[in-house]
Structure 1
Amino acid sequence: MKKEVSDRELKKIVADFLEMGHVDNIFEMFKRDKSYYCWTGELLDDERFGVRLGITVLFEELKLHCEDDIHLAVDSLCNALKESPPHVRGDAVNILGIIGSEDALVCVRNALEDDSPQVREVAKDVLEECE
């Protein structure tokens, strides 16, 4: 009998792989199944710095090779700006800047009003770089 892997288990596996530096494996997953993009905000909400750094590296690669698909993460990242700790919000703003679409930049502009001065600073830097 074949056991299905739950989304929760798979998200943990993705995070673990990112922490170990296996961004190439996760890149292939995102390339093959676009439904993973909606997990981006959730994956960023990991206490492990290596996971968050891995997501940034992942999106830099996706921007180069799958630019038509990366907008699929925007809603998830914009939601992370509302519901996450400041370090996650800052990372979300950074990735929205990598995506660089108009809807992503709307969320970055909104982050200029964030409660956290660090998030506001990241948003300011991202907008200066993008505009």
Structure 2
Amino acid sequence: MTNDELKQMVLDHMELGLLENIIDMFRADTTLFPLITDMLQDERLRVRLGATALVEELQATHPALLAEQIPALGELLKFQNPTVRGDAAYVLGLLKNDKAIPYLEAASEDENASVREVVLEAISEIRGQ
């Protein structure tokens, strides 16, 4: 199976609601963690929501591996679609890692009011406010 086929399979399984299976896959194969950014960019709402739930679940057991995704998640704060920017900010807040602060601060003046709100909430979450 190619990387593109694997990515498509994981995203399609997420759309089908197979979150528990995907959590198990990520725990068994930590090279899958970069797919989180792909999930957050997907046009399907269920895939994006699943990505958030996946991060919430993995944060308890794999915070260091999730922290490695901060630069890629930070890049999503520049994405054209404001939904993707907001989702990325929310996920960065879930990570509660100071390394996300510079990315979030850079996005704090986003043109979209909803994104700005999520960014500020994420910063507060990380700083424990």
Give the TM-score range, shorter chain.
Answer: 0.7 to 0.9
Give 1:78 deviation, angstroms. 1.2
Aligned position for 2:30: 34
Alignment of 1:1-131 (within 5 A): 5-131=1-127
Note the aligned Cα RMSD (angstroms).
1.5
How many residues get paired?
A: 127
Conserved in 2, the CA contact under 8 Å of 1:44 and 1:55?
A: yes
Task: Give identity over the alignment, percent.
Answer: 35
Conserved in 1, the CA contact under 8 Å of 2:97 and 2:126?
A: no
- Structure 1 length normalisation: TM-score? 0.87
CA distance in 2, matches of 1:84, 1:17: 26
Conserved in 2, the CA contact under 8 Å of 1:39 and 1:76?
A: no
CA distance in 1, matches of 2:30, 2:72: 13
CA distance in 1, matches of 2:75, 2:124: 23
Q: Which amino acid aligns with 1:65?
A: T
CA distance in 2, matches of 1:40, 1:72: 11
- Structure 2 length normalisation: TM-score? 0.88
Higher helix share: 1
Structure 1: segments with no counterpart, 5+ residues = none
Segments ≥4 residues shifted beyond 6 Å? none
CA distance in 2, matches of 1:55, 1:99: 13
